[in-house]
Amino acid sequence: MAKIDKAPFEEFLIHEARLLDDRRFRDWMALFTDDGSYWVPAVPNQDSPFNQASLFYDDRDLMKTRIDRLEHPLIHAQTPPSRTAHIIGNIVVESADDEAGKYTVVSTVMMVEYRDEQQRVFAGRQTHTLKRDGGGFRIAQKKVDLINCDSAFEAMAVPI
């Protein structure tokens, strides 16, 4: 694979993280292709979202439902709302098909969530399958492999 300028991919991932931290969930959802999905496996090395339960497996319809709930003023799981900080690093473009405009980008992610006087940390590796869209990208799939995905913890309400 020829050397790829990873700056546009870094900018995209940082922009995505900022949207989540700013609770701009509808703008975040707009980053996904019409058939895009958001997946957080429930066990290490889970190879499919269809052969067992996942922590999250959302298509655009389910994302919209989740966002509608997050924005509802009476949602118990988000009263008070979570405040988050995402840290993205170790970004590597694993595969690139410039002709098809399809890219696989792997990075590490940490999300610190503060809500109701409690702070939680989620960390793992995320894999974005991106498709070129004009001068930018859209997410065909975002998969987040948490290092503690199989641990017991309170349910997550906000995307990682």
Convert the pLDDT of each residue in 7-64 to its tens digit: 999 999 999 999 999 999 999 999 999 999 999 999 999 999 999 999 999 999 999 9
Split into its structural domains, the chain has a count of 1
The answer to whether residue 1 is domain-embedded is: no
Convert the pLDDT of each residue in 96-144 to its tens digit: 999 999 999 999 999 999 988 899 999 999 999 999 999 999 999 999 9
pTM of model > 0.75:
yes
Task: Return the CATH number at 41.
Answer: 3.10.450.50
Convert the pLDDT of each residue in 49-99 to its tens digit: 999 999 999 999 999 998 988 887 767 667 788 899 999 999 999 999 999
The answer to whether residue 112 is domain-embedded is: yes
The answer to whether residue 138 is domain-embedded is: yes
Domain that holds residue 137: 7-146
The answer to whether residue 31 is domain-embedded is: yes
The answer to whether residue 156 is domain-embedded is: no
Instruction: Find, among 144, 152, 82, the residue nearest to 113 by Cα.
Output: 82
The answer to whether residue 160 is domain-embedded is: no
What is the CA angle 66-35-139, rounded to 5?
A: 80
* Largest CA-CA distance found in the chain, in angstroms, rounded: 51
The answer to whether residue 42 is domain-embedded is: yes
pLDDT of residue 72: 78
